[in-house]
Structure 1
Amino acid sequence: MKPQLTILAISLALAGCGGSGGSDTSASAAPTYTVSGTVTAQNVDLQSKVCADINQNYMCDSGEPSSTANANGEFSITSTKKSILSVPLLAQVDTGIAANSTSGSASSYAYIAAPGLQKNTGNEINGISSLLAGYVADGLTIAEANNKLKAQLAKSGITISGDIQDDLSASELASLEQNVVSTIKAFKHSNRAFMLAQLSAKFDKSAADYVGGVLDNDQVTAFANFLEGELKAATALNDTGVLRYFSDIDDTQDVVEPQSSFPGQDAEYGFDKTELNANTGNGFQFAKLDSNGQVLSDDATQWACVLDQRSGLIWETKTDDENSLQYKDRQFALELPGVVTPYDQDVDLATCKTKGDAICTTQDYVEHINAINLCGKSDWRLPTFHEFYNVLDFGETEKNAGGKAYGLTYKYFPHQSVGGEYTEIGSVWNQSIIYNQYSNTAVDGGFYYNEIGTLGEDRGYISALEIYSGDVDSSDNSDSYQFPARLVSLQGK
């Protein structure tokens, strides 16, 4: 039996974390903790407010431990909260733009950051530390963040020996440091964690050279606007797809008319809202694409990809041909470069072993689909948890051969996965690795993963599964899980 935790179990486990099992300290004062360092960013007021970002929303909120740096940028924060050592440290800098609703600016302040390093002293906050913090905000460890940033710098001929957080003010990083701070100041959206993560991942893909010299305002603004567009694509939401109403007249079949005796039902609101006596809604805006990425007519009978016009994401279509690499139930072991290495026994049970090919892991599959430029795209990847959940259609009535309603809109996604050997609820891989789950039976080298059910009554159901990585001792453990994959790409990239 594979280890699995339901939402209820997760909730109970998290609730247990706040119990009274700790030692009684009522007889003595609570211990205090101190974190100190220096703001070293160029072209900012060094006498800035610095805070420990306890809730990790990448802004200094009222009540969060803070202090004001001196004229040399030196700061020291003391608190009874030990978490100040491990959460991001933020320096609040003035953008020079007054906050108001017409300017599009959410605040007159921007926040440069440093990742929490468990260091009492010697912390440094500037543009380069903000790049590391952006990677950490996106789920990477500090070691992984170092490797990512070093690889980006190497493209520009810059080599940093040792850990970058120990050399944040290196002279060869001076232009990059200024440009990063200027870009952070130019952000308009309040989703700072996402914006910072995108800046970290993509500064080296900007049309302007972020490393070779200090950029002008137009160049910085252009790239900041591009990242704002990335946020819009990543967060634009569809509706649920629910078009019908529960009725007490016949509770075995929902009806198309709103029910005055049961007001406030899902179908009465949002994009799904239907016209009276019409079973139509606009919860999703899909378009079929040919193999070159061109839009086809809505009644096309053959298509290669599906564009979600609301989010800007392009989804791979699958096939029911078992000999195709894009077969809907082809099984893969999970591999996320820099995050998850594949587990040997999961690889051994992947479909590649019976088909005699080398496409065994999700990364193998990503590389294959990118190599063939499916729909003219070469940036295919596994979807994030929210991206995949955003295309679930809870109103779909078409059923598979097993009698279970599909979880994606059948008209556009006719070939949908059953799942894996151990969980046949339509699961496909996403990037939802979670680290806030603990079990005393967890295997060293394993981690928890949010599985999304997509079939029948399991549509939208989330379970925490323990997945094994390449760090697990295969001599003492069996396989964990293998699932199919449905990849996603971003329109216009």
Structure 2
Amino acid sequence: MKPQLTILAISLALAGCGGSGGSDTSASAAPTYTVSGTITAQNIDLQSQVCADINQNYMCDSGEPSSTANANGEFSITSTKKSILSVPLLAQVDAGIAANSTSASASSYAYIAAPGLQKNTGNEINGISSLLAGYVADGLTVTEANSKLKAQLAKSGISISGDIQDDLSASELASLEQNIVSTIKAFKHSNRAFMLAQLSAKFDKSAADYVNGVLTNEEVVAFANFLEGELKAATALNDTGVIRYFSDIDDTQDVAEPQSSFPGQDAEYGFDKTELNTNTGNGFQFAKLDANGQVLADDAAEWSCVLDQRSGLIWESKTDDENSIQHKDRLLALELPGVVTPYDQDVDLATCKTKGDQVCTTQDYVEHINSINLCGKSDWRLPTFHEFYNLLDFGETETNSDGRAYGLTYKYFPHQTAGIDYTSYIGSVWNQSIIYNQYSNTAVDGGFYYNEIGTLGGDRGYISSLEIYSGDVDSSDNYDSYQFPARLVSLQGK
């Protein structure tokens, strides 16, 4: 693996070299990229701001490439950031929030979206494109999003030939398009990615018919409120798992009792204390699931998945069998459809090369686990940064063969990765945390920065920024970057 210096080390090295050193100061103009298209949503002001959602928080932030559409809804965005072609495109519209909500968290703006399609021209933003974007926000590829949405439409007798993004303004989709935009405008919560993903997955399960006819405001708000409830259930935080106290009298060992001389410690607060006092746990509520997704007895000796009853997320169980594709230490190259293509040298070092199979990247692994319908689910994906961090148990005392404490609750997650030698923050697994707000003048063209979460021993919860290579990196001039195992997640009820 190519050694990677920290930004501080690089700065010191340059200082030691005396600075200028004959470097080439000539500058050529940075290349620019353009993405254009049309807002075609009904009953909104077409002269709306449109932005490329670089940080993918589903709102137009200051500094993100943007423009204002003309009276026909036509827009064009130009930027030196190539990612404008692959990130969601958002149209900022008036939410009319005063009529629907007095919530302090409500925004006066709503955002309809289109997934990044790598298209310079011909992009279209409306309610139907927002459904596709919602599925992509939940980890699906555009192709998978098309399949999901077509299946939902088929239930209402609507058949779209070809890709839906090429027929977003079809007359048979007019009612659905308008109802989706109205529902997005009724959202009160700021977690827009989750809300949009839930709307995509569940509009066909609403008591109101989203496809045949325009809904009343009451029907729209009722379903928006239902999705708000789904958000509350699915984003509840676990506690830290810390149930013991540091003692300033004997600092060689934690103690079970609160310390009056050292007040305000973690164990005095939250679910940890409440559940410890009632002998029900350490701030987590897990359930073991069988291969069909049915809840097992808590003392079951074998299980396939783990349900986090606080967050509503279902986690894949790993195995200690080295011949299994679900082995805890199976290494994968990172692949995030539409964002990161796999780097050849990382693929060459993946476990698939020694096992002789084709599951080499994180996307290969996602597709494999979905193909076997693990625990009755087919929406498995890499977790987000926050989803995985919420799973960490800082109170776990069970250790691995190297004497390092596990980062996840051992009773439910007995098979945890041991990590790899070239990073000190061992026990890492892949998540989706590609970041764009870090810069180094030594960064490799085509590389990305990534937030790695340490999960073992003293590094539990430690976050390190690593440079990950993509398929755009010249492999003839660079070594490999990183390969980690993956632990996939699914949402309960989907």
When the two structures are superposed, what TM-score results if normalisation uses the length of structure 1?
0.73
Contact 2:97–2:186 (Cα < 8 Å) also in 1? no
238-247 or 181-190, which moves further after superposition?
181-190
Residue 79 (structure 2) aligns with: 79
Shift of the 39–295 alpha-carbon distance from structure 1 to 2, 3 Å rule, reads closer
Determine if contact 1:426/1:455 at 8 Å carries over to the other structure: yes
| Aligned 8 A contact 2:97 2:185 in 1 | no
Cα distance change of structure 1 residues 25 and 467 upon mapping to structure 2, 3 Å threshold? closer
- What are the Cα deviations for residues 258-293 of structure 1, in whole angstroms up to 9, with x where unaligned? 111111111111111158989874410011112221
Q: Aligned ranges for residues 184-223 of structure 1 at < 5 Å?
A: 184-196=184-196, 199=199, 214-215=214-215, 220=220
- Contact kept, 8 Å, 1:44 with 1:93, in 2: the verdict is yes
CA contact (8 A) 1:332 1:361 kept: yes
| Structure 1 stretch displaced more, 433-442 or 321-330 | 433-442
State the shift of 1:409 in Å: 0.4
SS at match of 1:465: strand
Q: Secondary structure at the match of 1:466?
A: strand
CA contact (8 A) 2:86 2:339 kept: no
Deviation at 1:405, TM superposition (A): 0.4
Structure 1 gap ranges (5+): none
After TM superposition, the structure 1 stretch with the greater mean CA deviation from structure 2, 480-489 or 350-359, is: 350-359
Counterparts of 1:77 and 1:189, CA distance in 2: 28
Shift of 1:46: 7.5
> Cα distance, 1:175 vs. partner?
3.9
Output one character per residue of 1:387-431: Cα deviation in whole Å (capped at 9) or x when no partner. Answer: 111100011111100010000001111111012342261011111
Provide closer, same or farther for how the CA distance between residues 204 and 465 of structure 1 changes in structure 2, counting only shifts above 3 A. Answer: farther
Per the alignment, do residues 177 and 293 of structure 1 end up closer, same or farther by CA in structure 2, a change over 3 Å counting? closer
Matched, 1:302 2:302: yes
- 1:106: how far off? 3.4
Residues 3-59 of structure 1: CA deviation (Å, up to 9, x unaligned):
557799999999999999999999999999999999875335779999999999777
Measure, in 2, the Cα distance between the counterparts of 1:247 and 1:50. 56
Could you tell me how far apart the structure 2 residues matched to 1:19 and 1:25 are? 13
Native 8 Å contact 2:419 2:428 kept in 1 = yes
Cα deviation for residue 335 of structure 1 reads 1.9
Give the Å deviation of 1:141: 13
Q: Which residue of 1 aligns with 2:32?
A: 32
Q: What secondary structure does 2:392 align onto? A: coil
Q: Distance in 1 between matches of 2:265 and 2:20?
A: 41
Give the Cα–Cα distance (whole angstroms) in 2 for the partners of residues 221 and 13 of structure 1: 59
Contact kept? 1:35, 1:120, Cα under 8 Å? yes
Quick check: 441-450 or 37-46, which moved more?
Answer: 37-46
Provide Cα deviations, 1:309-353, integer angstroms capped at 9, x if missing partner: 001111111111212222111111222223222222222211122
* Matched-pair contact (CA < 8 Å) for 2:382–2:486: yes
CA root-mean-square deviation = 6.5
Distance in 1 of aligned mates of 2:242 and 2:350: 35
Which segment drifts farther, 429-438 or 388-397?
Answer: 429-438
After TM superposition, give the deviation of residue 238 of structure 1 in Å.
0.4
User: Which stretch of structure 1 is more off in the superposition, 129-138 or 232-241?
Assistant: 129-138
What secondary structure does 1:116 align onto? coil
Q: Please say which of residues 36-45 and 428-437 is displaced more in the overlay.
A: 36-45
Aligned partners of 1:365 and 1:119: how far apart in 2? 27
Is contact 2:86–2:338 with CA below 8 Å preserved after alignment? no
How far residue 232 of structure 1 moved from its aligned partner, in angstroms, is 3.0
Q: Relative to structure 2, which stretch is displaced further, 28-37 or 302-311?
A: 28-37
Q: Quick one: distance in 1 between partners of 2:157 and 2:184? A: 24
Moved more, 424-433 or 242-251: 424-433
More divergent stretch after superposition (285-294 vs 341-350): 341-350
Q: Secondary structure at the match of 2:97?
A: coil
- Which residue does 2:489 correspond to in 1? 488
Distance in 1, Cα, partners of 2:18 & 2:123: 30
Distance change (3 Å), C-alpha of 1:400 and 1:53: closer
3-state secondary structure, aligned to 2:490: strand
> Mean Cα displacement is larger for which, 443-452 or 304-313?
443-452
TM-aligned CA distance change 1:58 to 1:487, over 3 Å:
closer
Distance 2:162 2:23 in 1: 40
1:468 is displaced (CA, Å) by 1.7
> CA 1:432/1:330 → structure 2, altered by over 3 Å: closer, same or farther?
same
Stretch moving more, 85-94 or 6-15: 6-15
2:100 and 2:281 mapped to 1: Cα distance? 36
Change (3 A) 1:161 1:475: farther
Greater alpha carbon shift after TM alignment, 83-92 vs 434-443 = 83-92
Q: Does the 8 Å CA contact 1:46/1:72 hold for their aligned counterparts?
A: yes
C-alpha displacement of 1:230: 4.7
Contact 2:275/2:282 (<8 A) preserved:
no
Query: Could you tell me the percent identity over the aligned residues?
Result: 91
Measured in 2, the distance between the counterparts of 1:387 and 1:16 equals: 42
- Greater shift in the superposed pair: 137-146 or 471-480: 137-146
Per-residue deviation, 1:478: 1.9
Q: Which deviates more, 287-296 or 242-251?
A: 287-296
Check conservation: 2:139, 2:381, Cα contact below 8 A: no
Stretch of structure 1 that moved more, 230-239 or 464-473: 230-239
Instruction: From the superposition, tell whether residues 397 and 473 of structure 1 become closer, same or farther in structure 2 (CA, over 3 Å).
Output: same
Please report how far the alpha carbon of residue 247 of structure 1 lies from its aligned counterpart in structure 2 after TM superposition.
0.7
Structure 2: tracts of 5 or more residues without a match: none
Instruction: Summarize the Cα distance change of 1:152–1:398 in structure 2 as closer, same or farther, 3 Å threshold.
Output: same
1:172-231 Cα shifts (integer Å, max 9, x gaps): 764454222211133232333543465468768989886776456576456535643553
1:276 partner SS: helix
Structure-2 separation of matches of 1:123 and 1:20: 45
- Aligned-partner Cα distance in 2 for 1:458–1:146: 41
From the superposition, tell whether residues 402 and 199 of structure 1 become closer, same or farther in structure 2 (CA, over 3 Å). Answer: same
- Asked if the contact 1:88/1:116 (under 8 Å) is kept, the reply is yes
In structure 2, do the counterparts of structure 1 residues 141 and 28 end up closer, same or farther at CA, with 3 Å as the change threshold?
same
CA contact (8 A) 2:316 2:487 kept: yes
Closer/same/farther in 2, CA of residues 146 and 443 from structure 1, 3 Å limit: farther
| CA distances 1:417-467 after superposition (whole Å, capped 9, x unpaired) | 012342261011111111222222222222111111000011011111111
